[in-house]
Amino acid sequence: QNQPYRRLLIGRKKLPEPHGGPVPNSTRGAGNTKQTFWATILDAPSSTRTLPSLNDKFSAEHYTTKTRGERTIAEARLAARGVYAIVNKVADVPSRRETHFGYVITHPAPDAFADVQEAFGILPVCSCVMQVKNPLAPMTGPMFRGGASSSSKAAQYPERLMKSVFGYDDASGEHSKGREDYGLRFASCETPELLDYDHGELLLIAAREDEEGLETSFGDGRGKALVEFGREEREKSIDEIYKEYGLDQQVIQMGPLEGKWE
């Protein structure tokens, strides 16, 4: 229960689908496009952000506006629970290096998926190509609308990461990678530390679904290993999951975890 966590916001309120619509503003042919969404790291891991604190994050919120009076944001509900892995695939050419994020849903079981999971684009098994955005790069295109860099908030990566990952040297103002003054616009996540900063922005590019697709994305038996781990975790009851995460069932409803909206 005292383990740290990461909390991400998916920009389009659902996960990208491998066979979904075209990428906004894509210059590629329609047959080759993949859905591309952004995600923002709302809470990066820290000693004060442990799993039980999610009860406060996900509980109902009450606030008052001048025009509408008292308003309420309902409490969050669990739509799915699963296991995930992040794998970096090495390539001879640096520009072809990819970071793959893959997940296997453990609850609900695949045969129990219902309207809730479909509404949020949650698949039993799926993988995405994941890229990290340079916080100095401007936000363009509808897929990024509402991202952290469109406001005053942006990830505050240290100079060493900006230089080693994106190729931007703050001391000299020069860049060693990419064509822009700020260096690379996006980079693969070969440096996991990039995920440890609030407001970090990620691109999720839908890649493949099902167990075979996950293994293709991960390679070397790593996809199969994640699937097997998911099967083991599926043996846990919902009560065990709530206890493991320190969650209060009175605060965070379990209905959607069983495929029910309520």
pLDDT digits (tens, 9 = 90+) for 86-103: 999 887 776 778 999 999
Question: Could you count the other beta carbons within 10 Å of the beta carbon of residue 235?
Answer: 8
Angle between helices 210-218 and 222-233 (to 10 degrees): 130
3-class SS of residue 179? coil
Per-residue pLDDT tens over the stretch 180-232: 999 999 999 999 999 999 999 999 998 899 999 999 999 999 999 999 999 99
Residues 6 or more apart whose Cβ sits within 8 Å of residue 120: 13, 14, 15, 79, 80
Residue 111 confidence (pLDDT) = 93
Residue 29 confidence (pLDDT) = 38
In terms of phi and psi (left: phi > 0; alpha: psi -120 to 50; beta: otherwise), the region of 13 is left
pTM of the model: 0.84
Greater pLDDT, 29 or 191: 191
